Amino acid sequence: MHFIEYYTDKRGRQPVVEWQNRLDIRNDHIIDNKIKKLMENGLKVLDTNMFDVIQGDDSDFYELKGGLNKQCRIAIYHDKRRNTFILLHGWLKKKGRDEQNIEQARTILHRYLSTQGE
């Protein structure tokens, strides 16, 4: 088993939990099961079509793809030092909005890294 946790900000808010609570019921179980598979298999599943690497300067930065028409996305960071996957930010893929969401995920990632002393 691999450790997975939601990113939690200073006020105790967890963006991915809040996003999932708003998610269509037809998408929720699909996303949850992929999170479970990540928990069970770790890096092995990152090579499947369930995940993609998020291109850019940040390493160990991935996106989970799932839901109806693969429209749901969750940005994930693999914190090797803590051997933990951090669920940073969730969004619904829409034309033209993807970059904006990836940038938001990147901002959350850098916020997370700053709390880890990196």
Partner 1 sequence: MMVRTPIQEIKEKLLDFEYRKRFGAADAKNEFAITLATVRRDLNMTQQELADRCGATQPYIAKLEGGEANPTLGTIGNMLAVIGCRLAMDAKPLLQDVPAPPSTITVSQSSTVADTGTLPLDWECIYEANGSGGYTAPLTSGRYPITAAKSDSPALVGGYR
What span, in angstroms and rounded, lies between the C-alpha atoms of 10 and 60?
A: 23
Measured CA to CA, the distance from residue 8 to residue 107 in angstroms comes to 13
Q: How far is the CB of 30 from partner 1 (least distance, A)?
A: 5
Rounded distance between C-alpha atoms, residue 50 and residue 22, angstroms: 22
Minimum Å gap between C-beta 8 and partner 1 is: 5
Residue 8 or 100: which CB sits closer to partner 1?
8
Sort 48 into a burial class: Cβ within 10 Å, 0-12 / 13-18 / 19+. exposed
In the bound state with partner 1, the residue whose beta carbon lies nearer, of 12 and 57, is 12
**What is the contact surface with partner 1 in residues (CB under 8 A)?**
4-6, 8, 11-14, 17, 20, 25, 28-30, 32-37, 39-41, 44-45, 47-50, 65-66, 70, 87
Cβ of residue 24: shortest distance to partner 1, in angstroms? 12
When the beta carbons of 38 and 102 are compared against partner 1, the nearer one is: 38
Output the smallest distance, CB 89 to partner 1, in A: 14
Nearest CB to partner 1, comparing residues 22 and 57: 22
For residues 20-36, b (16+ Cβ closer than 10 Å) or e, as one string? beebeeebeeebeebbe
Distance CA 62, CA 59 (A): 9
